[in-house]
Amino acid sequence: MRIIQTLLLFLISFLTFGQNKQFLYEYKFIPDSTKKADIKLEIMILNVMKDRSEYYSSIRYASDSAQAADFKKGIVSMPANVESVNEWVTKYPGSNQLIHTTFLVWDKYKVKQDVELSWKLINEFSKILNYNVQSTRIKI
């Protein structure tokens, strides 16, 4: 009986804490519209959690994590001198509100925006990493 209780507790905790999903995206962008040949590439992270979704730069996240670890040790360190996307987007379920957080040197600016996304599935299918996927169009 004790084994069944332990297994049941393990299963419940696994289901409770295992709801977060993380996706990595390759993001290509042109930071300066006057230099169209200067295409940058960055890996972006989409974390989908029970209470919110967050989209941010993997480089920015690593830099912030390193600074936070240094700060806990009493060391004040500078951010890595690497160009990265300095925007963090947060979305809460059941809300049309996006919160754009932009980091400029030491300052952080937040802009709240109401966006109603209208998804339309397109009759285009393909396979990505052995997953069947379907195209969508978003009307903003």
The 10s digit of each residue's pLDDT in 74-122 is 765 555 555 667 888 999 988 888 999 988 777 889 999 998 877 777 8
- Domain that residue 45 falls in: 20-115
Is 140 inside any structural domain?
no
pTM of the full predicted structure?
0.60
Please give the angle made by the CA atoms of 12, 13 and 14, to the nearest 5 degrees.
Answer: 90
Residue 40 counted as domain residue: yes
Q: Give domain status of residue 50, yes or no.
A: yes
Place of tokens 């332990």: 6
Structural domain tally of the chain? 1
For 5-23, b/e burial (b = at least 16 CB within 10 A) is eeeeeeeeeeeeeeeeeee
Q: Is residue 103 part of a domain?
A: yes
In a domain? residue 14: no
Q: What residues does 111 pair with on adjacent strands? A: 100
Is 73 within the bounds of a domain? yes
